[in-house]
Chains A and B, each alone.
Chain A
């Protein structure tokens, strides 16, 4: 496995296994200890995770397939880790218990209300951090928010508009 994939897996697993992740900030400081993972497929419901990701980070321009692929990466990375599986299971159970139907069958407004009902639960911060990291560090997401990623191979922005702003008062 190359460095990049190892790092991404560790990042996902660490996010969901460390209690400090909810308060983490710039530059991925919560990417810390390695933890056990395995390559078995995930037991958790991928449809629920994809929808949960959309409700947590709703971008109209981003298709469901991108959310699903990003969360598929999370579930693959977390598969076989009993601690994280139980966190996800607890969240799923609580979401499904919220309304008169399973969470996936609720309408958007009710789905959001269900998430609000669990946002103080002990597992929520870790799940939020995991989804956030998996989603926004997935290169498939970046074109939809006009983020180009690595610049090294293009020689940086020295000739690529790092100083091209032209609408400021009194600025060249």
Chain B
């Protein structure tokens, strides 16, 4: 059962974060008999804490520390952002792993590279990740149930000529599996699944790791610094515990999975005489190449009731636009996914005020809607740094987030919105609205994997180029964004990384 390690036990691997990346790499290591201490900044909730009340849940699970710059929407709680995610789990496509080779460098400001691994390298781990997470339509799991919103999406998609329309690739149990129930169509997926049908590390990886006897979770433990020795190897992690006291957990190796803002901050804040620009940052790439996808949303008033508030928020996907077809006027592709929203979100997504806004909420029962996620190119100007003087309640420098849409992103969004309009108008929609979703929910790229250390922070295993026992284990690893929702790939990379760490330990090279 759950174990406790001494602070000076330098044999443990310390994992920072308990979300998709951290929770997975920690459990995978523990399953192999490797001792792990997982530091999680947030509290540990139970399913009984999950209510269908978005403001109340945001207060419980949201990350509310000060940031400067455009919105980032992530979680501080055991389970991390797997508490909030929608569960959509497409794979990255073969050509997207070769973004630079496929698209070419878009302009002088973009920083595309090829991933230092291919789809075939990752395929076995995608299989394991899908099995672990219970992805619908894989491993004998049935498709997700077709909700009303999905049926509209599918019918309209067919009318505009789409072929790859599916209610699979969702990590929400369609039927009971591995001790978790089937989806009851509660509809508040992004406020935490109250019954645990949606995969979250809170009630999968974390308790599974505890059962091995090789794992200790320390919640409300905010990592503030990673220490190293004269040989340039990391030796421990300094954190603030639940009582606000500063502690240091010694470590054999460290895996950082704080989601990109916190991963950047921790690496940069660990600067020293030996590493004056922070850990892993000898080539100046930490915090750079920040991507967050071409986001967009569409909502339409249909001629008859849809009642999209009933059921899974994201229950289906159209893949037809995910390919690289430069004749559309942009590089890379995008994916369309159903999206049902509550009235506040409808009003806010439509934006503005007055009758042009309320025509949507006045027809709430007749709404259908979708979400757009597409590839956005890394750019030199899109990055995360630390504020020179402002500090937060933990006396940490405030992260400064800089992100703007590239012209490629604007062209892609425009195309996606035209297609979305066509989907709903083909079925007689009387009103349509669509636009940007200026929120960093898919955060990627700040410690990216690269074959050449000059291009990134980590190698093909997520090991930093500079420090052999320092790993990054979250979406920060993405060499480029691809179009797919990132969680499945984060989990696949974490499984693969744990296997690599275990091998290196067996060979005594770590």
Interface residues of A, Cβ cutoff 8 Å to B: 3-4, 6-8, 10-11, 20, 23-34, 55-61, 112, 115, 119, 128-129, 132-133, 136-137, 141-142, 145-152, 155-158, 160-165, 167-171
Contact = CB atoms under 8 A, between A and B. Distances in A.
A83 to B, nearest CB: 16
Given A23-B71, A26-B297, A28-B55, A147 B187 contact: no
Interface stretch (B7-15, B88-96, B140-148, B464-472): B140-148
B438 A23 contact: yes
A151 B52 contact: yes
10 contacts: A25-B297, A26-B439, A30-B71, A145-B362, A149-B52, A157-B184, A160-B310, A165-B148, A165-B307, A171-B151
Contact of A136 (B58, B59, B148, B343): B343
A157 B185 CA distance: 5
Contacts of B365: 146
B311 A162 contact: yes
A34 B393 CA distance: 12
Contacts of B307: 161-162, 164-165
Interface in B296-323: 297, 303-307, 309-312
The 4 closest A-B pairs by CB, nearest first: A156-B184, A162-B311, A150-B52, A136-B344
A145 B364 contact: yes
Contacts of A31: 55, 58-59, 62, 64
A7 B59 CA distance: 6
Contacts of B71: 20, 23-25, 29-30
Given A28-B58, A60-B362, A169-B159, 7 more contacts: A11-B58, A27-B58, A115-B353, A132-B347, A133-B344, A151-B186, A165-B152
Nearest to A119: B353
Given A31-B59, A147-B364, A148-B309, A26 B52 contact: no
B155 A34 contact: no
B348 A3 contact: no
Contacts of A169: 155, 159, 427
A59 B354 contact: no
A133 B58 CA distance: 13
Contacts of B191: 27
A168 to B, nearest CB: 4
A138 to B, nearest CB: 10
B361 interface: yes
A146 B347 CA distance: 15
A8 B64 contact: no
Contact of A28 (B194, B344, B358, B364): B344
A167 B311 contact: no
Nearest to B371: A26
B485 interface: no
Interface of A (DSSP majority class): loop
B362 A7 contact: no
A129 B339 CA distance: 22
A149 B56 CA distance: 13
B344 A137 contact: yes
Nearest to A60: B362
Contacts of B183: 156, 158
Contacts of A151: 52, 185-188, 310
B56 A128 contact: no
Contacts, number: 197
A170 B156 CA distance: 11
B340 to A, nearest CB: 10
B51 A152 contact: yes
B341 interface: yes
A159 to B, nearest CB: 9
A120 B84 CA distance: 33
A16 to B, nearest CB: 15
A171 B353 CA distance: 35
Of B158, B349, B362, most buried by chain A (CB within 10 Å of CB) is B362
A163 B146 contact: yes
Contacts of A148: 309
Contacts of B303: 167
A3 B357 CA distance: 31
B154 interface: yes
B432 to A, nearest CB: 17
A26 B145 contact: no
Contacts of B407: none
B53 A56 contact: no
Contacts of B184: 155-158
Contacts of B145: 162-163
Given A25-B348, A26-B349, A163-B147, A7 B55 contact: yes
Interface string B353-375: 11101100110110000000000
B310 A157 contact: yes
B52 to A, nearest CB: 4
B54 interface: yes
Nearest to B311: A162
B52 A8 contact: no
Given A11-B55, A162-B145, A27 B73 contact: yes
Contact of B439 (A4, A7, A24): A24
Interface string B329-350: 0000000000101111101110
A34 B148 CA distance: 38
A29 B342 contact: no
B290 to A, nearest CB: 17
Interface in B123-157: 145-148, 151-152, 154-155
Contacts of A28: 54-55, 58, 62, 344-345
A43 B71 CA distance: 32
Contacts of A58: 354-355, 358
A150 B148 CA distance: 18
